Structure 1
Amino acid sequence: MQNLYFVRHGETQLNAADHVQGGDIDSPLLEKSIVNARKTGAFLKQTAISRVISSPQLRALDTANYILSEFNRELPLETDERLKEFRYGNWEGLYIPDIAEKYPETFRHLRQEPHKYNPEQFGGETYPELIVRGTESVLHYAHQYPQEDLLFVGHSILWTATLLSLVGFEIKDIRSQSPLGNTSVSRLIRTGDTFQLDTWNYCDHLA
């Protein structure tokens, strides 16, 4: 049995301002997010995690390093380009309420009907494309280090699509769970080629 932990990065300036922040844009963590990342580290250091894999985007990598600062042992940290956030093309950086008003049907599909989402008009990424790279990354590290518990640090929609796909959700149901909070912890339990969703969007450690 292998435990795989997944943390969403801390809240950033663009998050707080309600702007799109996908795989081709970045923004600094808020001060409170640094505190919460350290709380997440204090919580996770009690586990048997022995390796960390992060998105290379600064908000995720900074979160990973703040988490590791609370551990009383050295853990290897590596990055994987496949763990970048969902790419929104020309929507990157735009004010979300403006997008919802200008593209109501596409925005509804993004949030509520992912099987109908088509980002072609603004050069975005599709859910199947996101799922392929996210699951490839998780499976790669799970198989490379099968005797180790791993921590992955990344992004909200990346983890939503990847984790739920690994446990058997269809694309139409990918957005059916509660949105992942910043510095939330989710966990999959892997037994052979089977994945079980043990924890989703745990935030009690941030209180």
Structure 2
Amino acid sequence: MATLILVRHGRTTANASGILAGRLPGVRLDETGLAQAERAARRIGVVPVAEVVTSPQERCRQTARAVLGAQRAAGNPLRARTDKALAECDYGDWQGRPLKELAEEPLWRTVQRQPSAVTFPGGESLVVMQHRAVDAVRRRDATIEAEHGPGAVWVAVSHGDIIKSLLADALGMHLDLFQRLHVDPASVSVIRYGGDRPFVMATNTHDGDLSWLVAPARQAPAADAAVGGGAGPGAV
């Protein structure tokens, strides 16, 4: 099976000022966010990546450019593919407003306690958001595996709620539980989609070697779960 590396964009000016950016144009990484994106890119740079897919929002494209730069430095010249299905949730009328102000809205408690019941005024529902992201990622993963083989690794750069919804789906969690997951700016999470089930390999990581994601040429990732936990990466 192929391996998906999920990267949230680095910190933005909106994140730092407590604004729900949504799909507003002109929201870019701040200095901290740029450094975070470079750090994530260096971690991923040790892995030969088959493809980089990004949300159309500028902050994700900036982060994807850092990932591409590290790949090119390692001799892997890639270009990013943009996928609208990985775009930020359409928060509608909430977009551009301070989080402190939104926390006073009656809908805020529903967002926290029952996300599956939420449709943002003038925007989309969290259920629709999850469905479009999961469908896009699973289809892309199958295509990459067919084109590059079961040991292929690819990167998707997206947003906090999108990545949380993908992780919740992979973990078999109802969307109403996805607020239990945490996805920081420029964090790395890893999923493998098997024929019977997905495997969540890592969530919300900020540091550490990722070379273990590269399977030996003779050994594709195992399709079954090892009873007892298995021997870990590198086992023959």
- Return the TM-score normalized by structure 2: 0.80
Q: CA deviation at 1:174?
A: 1.6
2:202 alignment partner, SS class: strand
- The answer to which of 7-16 and 32-41 deviates more is 32-41
Largest Rg, 1 or 2: 2
Alignment gaps of 5+ in structure 2? 209-236
Q: CA deviation at 1:111?
A: 2.7
Is 1:39 matched with 2:33? no
Match of 2:123 in 1: 124
Q: After the TM superposition, which residues 173-192 of structure 1 pair with which residues of structure 2 at under 5 Å, given as runs?
A: 173-177=177-181, 179-192=182-195
May I ask how many residue pairs the two structures share in their alignment? Answer: 200
Q: After the TM superposition, which residues 61-100 of structure 1 pair with which residues of structure 2 at under 5 Å, given as runs?
A: 61-71=61-71, 72=74, 73-100=76-103
d(CA) in 2 for partners of 1:91 and 1:76? 33
Q: Would you tell me which structure has more strand in proportion to its own residues?
A: 1
Amino acid at match of 2:22: G
Match of 1:140 in 2: 139
Q: CA deviation at 1:26?
A: 4.6
d(CA) in 2 for partners of 1:162 and 1:201? 13
Match of 2:160 among 152, 156, 159: 156
Per-residue deviation, residues 93-131 of structure 1 (Å, max 9, x unmatched):
001101112x1x311221332133242xx2121111001
d(CA) in 2 for partners of 1:12 and 1:191? 34
- Return the TM-score normalized by structure 1: 0.90
Amino acid at match of 2:65: N
Alignment gaps of 5+ in structure 1? none
Q: Percent identity?
A: 25
- Given that 2:50 and 2:144 are in contact with CA atoms closer than 8 Å, whether structure 1 keeps it comes out as no
Match of 1:50 in 2: 50
